[in-house]
Chain A
Amino acid sequence: MTQHLSGDDVPELTPELAALDAELRGLHIRERASFGPELGAELGHRLAEMDRPTFANRFGRRIAVGGGSVLLLALVFSPARASISDLISSFLYSDAASAMDEGPMPPAPGGELVRVAPEPLLPPVREAESELAVTPLREKARVDAGALTVYEPAEFTVPKVADPNELKTVLEEHYPAHLQAARVGGKVRVRMWVDASGSTSYVQVRTSSGVPDLDSAAREAATHIVFEPARWLGSPVGTWVEFDVGFDPATVNSEHFALRRGKPDKGVL
């Protein structure tokens, strides 16, 4: 549709749209009288803090340039490069290294000792027990090692969904409307990284539902699920998890369904 409209007013409005336009123009939006001066004062204080000479302000650039130059030169020489690599590794993996160095874990009768790293890369092999089951990969290793017994430190806790009710809402909101209408459901196994804050990323579909739109919806929904993160020795850590996202047309909330069909639900957004 091509419309040649210009100017400040929007011509060719129907009487109803013109009335709505006039009503919206008459909306009275005024800030609180003292808001402007208050915010101005706050901005001024922030500016003063930014301009205040600090060690970082004065010497930060010099330190950065000097440190970068030293690092660059050191990396050129292989002996120094190896030393720097070891130094960096010692900082990054100090927690795990110290945990690992605490000594062998007590063996079970007839079993072998295997140390498990905080963030293993083992592939999943066990089916999830339920739609909401979270199965971190290290647990699977324990189940499927066969004759090899793998012991997990008791200090590791798996991620869990922070709010099951919110999860239900997330799934309902992402259930494609046309599939709901056709009563098409399914389960999608997704694999994702749950970081130390409980947020998800790097979502992948591990087992498809057979319906591409459901797979896409599951991948999108997974990014909105909030977890309580895994904990290693009491501290939150990131870990890979696999998660079954199930879409069941029989359990869809009718109000949310109506919302996605373009009809705003009364009082609920």
Chain B
Amino acid sequence: MNPTDPAQAPPARDRTSTPAIPLRLAPGDDAARIRPQLPQDFAAWYEAHREVIYRYVRFRVATREAAEDVTSEVFLKALRFLGRYDPSRAPARAWLLHIARNAVADHLRMLKRRRSLHVSIDRVPDLVTDTPSPEERIMREERIQKLLNCNRTLREPDQEILSLRYGAGLSNHEIAQTLGITDNAAAVRVHRALARLKAALDTTDEMQ
């Protein structure tokens, strides 16, 4: 992209009033056209890992909007601290997931102060696939609400491992790489966290 070419210049916008994240395109904007160049490595990371980071975050926060905000924060921090990344210490995805874990913790801590951690039924429509009927959709949304709320009652390590497994969609080997543990240890942790989630779900069902 040639920033001096008016035809390629990004549309002017009022930066003083634009929130830092996330960016919403105005009608008619072409995101591909206005996207300036990112460092080659970072651009590759962004394309390769953004969905994984987003799914990991979405599994842990209540709404799509919060997931977008936190994901944006993750990549902004990664861009800011790119110079500190040491490839010999961890793969790129593990580093990004580490940033994501801290970003999610900060977000949840902020929500905890506001006492708004509970996931409401109207906050999970983006997590429901096509269902045969509206009634089925409501039941599915209630089930997801219950799953996410019970997940948040677990200890932090259990939430983390379940988010990596079922949010980010990582295999046990990939989870082991991310956490710096053996494949066997990762599999055991997933198994135990799943059992605790099941216990929490059963307890919730008993109380209802």
B55: contacting residue among A16, A29, A268, A269, CB under 8 A: A29
How many Å lie between the Cα of A263 and that of B118 in the bound state?
Answer: 15
Query: For A48, what are the chain B residues with a Cβ–Cβ distance below 8 Å?
Result: 3, 36
Per-residue CB contact flags for chain A residues 12-27 toward chain B (1 = under 8 Å, else 0) read: 1100110011011111
A183: CB under 8 A from chain B?
no
Query: For A38, what are the chain B residues with a Cβ–Cβ distance below 8 Å?
Result: 22-25, 31
In chain A, what residue has the closest Cβ to B203?
Answer: A263
A24 to B166, Cβ gap below 8 A?
A: yes
A226: CB under 8 A from chain B?
yes
B191: contacting residue among A3, A23, A41, CB under 8 A: A3
A34 to B25, Cβ gap below 8 A?
A: yes
How many Å lie between the Cα of A41 and that of B36 in the bound state?
Answer: 7
Query: For B51, what are the chain A residues with a Cβ–Cβ distance below 8 Å?
Result: 31, 36
In chain B, what residue has the closest Cβ to A224?
Answer: B113
Question: A20-B198, A29-B127, A269-B118 are known contacts. Are A39 and B58 too (CB-CB below 8 A)?
Answer: no
- Determine the interface band of chain A, counting residues with CB < 8 A from chain B: 35 or more
A269: contacting residue among B149, B203, B208, CB under 8 A: B149
How many Å lie between the Cα of A46 and that of B54 in the bound state?
Answer: 20
B75 to A43, Cβ gap below 8 A?
A: yes
Per-residue CB contact flags for chain A residues 28-44 toward chain B (1 = under 8 Å, else 0) read: 11111011111111111
In chain A, what residue has the closest Cβ to B153?
Answer: A264
Of B22, B128, B152, which is in contact with the most chain A CB atoms at under 10 Å from its CB? Answer: B22
Per-residue CB contact flags for chain A residues 219-256 toward chain B (1 = under 8 Å, else 0) read: 00000001000000000000000000000000000000
A6 to B166, Cβ gap below 8 A?
A: no
Q: What are the 5 closest A-B residue pairs judged by CB atoms, nearest first?
A: A37-B31, A44-B36, A5-B187, A42-B23, A24-B166
Q: A38-B22, A269-B153 are in contact. List 12 more A-B contacts (CB 8 A).
A: A3-B191, A5-B187, A5-B191, A17-B194, A20-B194, A24-B162, A27-B166, A37-B35, A40-B46, A263-B203, A264-B153, A269-B149
